[in-house]
Structure 1
Amino acid sequence: MSVIADRMAAEKAAPVPSRRSGVAGLRLESELVEGAEWDRVIAGFDDVCQEQMHVFAKRRWPGAVQEPRLFLLGGEVVGGAMVMVQPLPLRLGEIAVAKWAPMLKDASSPDADAIHAGMVDAMMVEYADRRGQMLSILPWASSTPVNTAYERLISRGFRRGSRLLFPNRYMVNLRLSDDEQRRSFDQAWRRQLNKAEKAGLVFEHATPEGIGAFEALYAAMSERKQFADHSAYETVPDLMDIEDPQLRPELFFVRHQGELVAGALIFKGGERAVYLYGATNDKALPLRAGYFLHWHIIRWLRDNTRARWYDLGGTDGFQGLHQFKKGMVGAAGVIRPVPPVANYASRPLAYMMGAGAFAGRDFVQHARRILGSWLNPRSRPTQSRGAPDEAAR
């Protein structure tokens, strides 16, 4: 393990019981490692995700300093967090941001909650107490009704920050037989799949060398729809160049009479597979190629990975996409919200500057969305933000 900073003992971080979970954080050691070493180690984590990979972060956020930080208990790696240290406007300070973190190596460990709490404690000591920065953590959407990771942050003194406009994530249960999965789908979704299966479509699990065909399909779709692309699509070439098959996304196609009509890139590491990007041509909709594509991706993930859930992502406020994903999630899956960002600072000025920077960013993003909807009315959300949250079903 190549180290770029001395190992930081976390004795300063005394275990602090959570008022809500009753979990005391274990005393952990913390170690910074090189980016390539970080990606190698986290490939086997249960909680691994693409946003926490160094190869992703360095392309997506080039203005931030990436700090891949492993946590150890008794000399053994038990978790980690990719923390991005970002300068504030006018260089007035810095904030430390961790998205979908901290990650557990073994989510089923009896000590998992205590390890997670210990990682949070150690991050608070390093970034808030020692460096005087605001620490901003965004846990991912939980598959359980209560997001214990977020509750733990609030109990430790973190404050609620920014929230996504349409926070729900749609998760398909991957541990079902074919018959159980089809029965889980909403009736309308199952009916569309039945029609797609009669349309002469062919499913293909492609090799990484097929990425050029996907990029052409994606570019044509983007040109046709004229939507502003605020995704991290620029990271795709780097992701597809990853040598470790555990971290490299999988590429899937659907063809009709030899023509490529739909494709998808899927992250499959850990216990949660994630739909990254999809692309279709004009023929895909009448052929119902999306139903056919996702049905076979679900089956492939079940049979070839250890993932328990297939995270379809959000909707960006489009009601049609909500209906499509809700139908696929069906009775056996779950719809859960991404929690708000949780912010913590030991010093009032650090919190004030960090929270102000986030407020400014949110204002700019809101203005950009309004301008985009004026320029292209088709990009306006059609899903009501006031609609009841379906996560509790």
Structure 2
Amino acid sequence: MGGMALAVELDQVTVDQSLRVEEMDAASWDAQAHLFDDVCQEQLDVFASERWPAMQLDRLNFYAGDRLVAGCLVMHRTAPMGLGGLAVCKWGPILLDNSLPSALADYQAVVDWLKHEYAVKRRLMLSILPRAVPVEPNPAFEYLRESGFKKGAGLPFPNRYFVNVDLSDDEMRASFNQKWRKHLRNSEKNEMRFEHVGPDKMSEFNALYEEMTARKQFPDYSAYDSLNHLMDNIDPSIRPEIFMVYHEQEAVAGAIVFVGGDTAVYLYGATNDKALPMQAGYFMHWEIMRWLGTQPRVKWYDLGGTDGFLGLHQFKKGMAGKAGAITTVPPVMNYAHWFVPRLVGETLFLIRDVKANAMRWVNSFRKKGPND
């Protein structure tokens, strides 16, 4: 039998035999992505293939009988000499309909299938990063923990801020904390103009973003370098929305927002040096919230995190307000059925984390902070 065949876990991986799995090509996968309540850019082929080009991608639809219930984009890579490897699912699996009574059971069935396919049959370490949601405890994280997944690395600043946009304008406004409402009222006196614009305005947003990063000199850990590829190549049904704020004829602020499923995600924001005294950020986000409130599927506006900047925490906390939520992004959850894949996978993650922490330490000596 030998060490190669020793199972790390003694639990049996059970799979729902009624679950039917269909592999999709890249174009078909992205074209249908808008159907899923849990859709996010990390689960799109056009984003993942550009962001992690060394990984192979599987795009999987899951059916209960003839009913499509979920999908999952899995990135995987095998180590040399067959010594295990990694399979990674970021912010998935994605459910078609979160409102169904069977939603949690559907998620659990898909996770069980992924364990059997990638951890048992393919001998890879399976890593799932559950998506942050506006409720705690996070049901996906709880099921992964209960089914034998082990905690991996978490974010250094895991807080995530959610605004409830499934409200009337008056209800949303009443939810903000008092100071946030005051800043919003002041911003509305500055004769700014809000516009929802098309992809032809990407160059205008890029100019704002590049001017802002050059001015503030804070470290950018985002995927901004892949944004233009995403906007140029994504299926139109799921292309992120662009919002701009103008004062007179000058662009002073802009935002890129992923609007799909039941949660919109604030991806990128940019301002020039005139935005702060006019409090353009308050005006822009308020108008984005009002626009999201007209979208029938969208219930939440995910503002992202803060990277530890106190000013951003105060801004986003005030915006989430009484009707919103502040929750945490769960840590990555790892499952390896065999010893060698666990050893290889944990070693690869350790190397990645050491490099990332070293870069953060170096950047800590630079001028940083979007509010400095």
TM-score after normalising by structure 1? 0.88
Cα contact 1:14–1:27 (8 A) shared by 2: no
After TM superposition, give the deviation of residue 247 of structure 1 in Å. Answer: 0.6
Tell me the alpha carbon deviations over residues 3-33 of structure 1, each in whole angstroms, 9 at most, x when there is no partner: xxxxxxxxx9635xxxxxxxxx674122221
For 1:44, the aligned partner's letter is: L
After TM superposition, give the deviation of residue 246 of structure 1 in Å. Answer: 3.3
Aligned pairs (5 A) from 1:1-393? 14=14, 27-88=18-79, 92-242=83-233, 244-374=235-365, 376-379=366-369
> Where does residue 4 of structure 2 map in the other structure?
none
Cα distance between partner residues in 1 of 2:198 and 2:370: 36
The 1:326/1:61 distance shift into structure 2, 3 A limit, reads: same
* Aligned residue pairs, count: 361
The 1:381/1:149 distance shift into structure 2, 3 A limit, reads: farther
Local SS of the residue matching 2:368: helix
Tell me the alpha carbon deviations over residues 288-310 of structure 1, each in whole angstroms, 9 at most, x when there is no partner: 00000000000001113411100
Question: After alignment, is 160-169 or 37-46 more displaced?
Answer: 37-46
For 1:234, the aligned partner's letter is: D
Tell me the alpha carbon deviations over residues 23-78 of structure 1, each in whole angstroms, 9 at most, x when there is no partner: xx674122221111111222110111111001111111111111111111113321
TM-score after normalising by structure 2? 0.93
Cα contact 1:316–1:381 (8 A) shared by 2: no
Local SS of the residue matching 1:203: strand
Local SS of the residue matching 1:198: coil
Identity of aligned residues (%): 50
For 2:117, the aligned partner's letter is: E
Tell me the alpha carbon deviations over residues 206-247 of structure 1, each in whole angstroms, 9 at most, x when there is no partner: 111111100111111111122232211122223323564431
> Where does residue 5 of structure 1 map in the other structure?
none
Local SS of the residue matching 1:304: coil
The 1:44/1:330 distance shift into structure 2, 3 A limit, reads: same
Tell me the alpha carbon deviations over residues 83-140 of structure 1, each in whole angstroms, 9 at most, x when there is no partner: 0003558985420000001110111112111111110010001100000000000111
- For the aligned residues, what is the CA RMSD? 2.0
After TM superposition, give the deviation of residue 284 of structure 1 in Å. Answer: 0.3
> Where does residue 7 of structure 2 map in the other structure?
none
After TM superposition, give the deviation of residue 356 of structure 1 in Å. Answer: 1.9
Cα distance between partner residues in 2 of 1:34 and 1:203: 38
Structure 1 residue ranges without an equivalent (≥5): 1-11, 16-24, 383-393
Cα contact 2:83–2:340 (8 A) shared by 1: no
Whose relative contact order is higher, 1 or 2, with alpha carbons under 8 Å and at least 6 apart?
Answer: 2
Cα distance between partner residues in 1 of 2:306 and 2:18: 40
For 2:14, the aligned partner's letter is: A
Structure 2 residue ranges without an equivalent (≥5): 1-11
Cα distance between partner residues in 1 of 2:193 and 2:233: 27
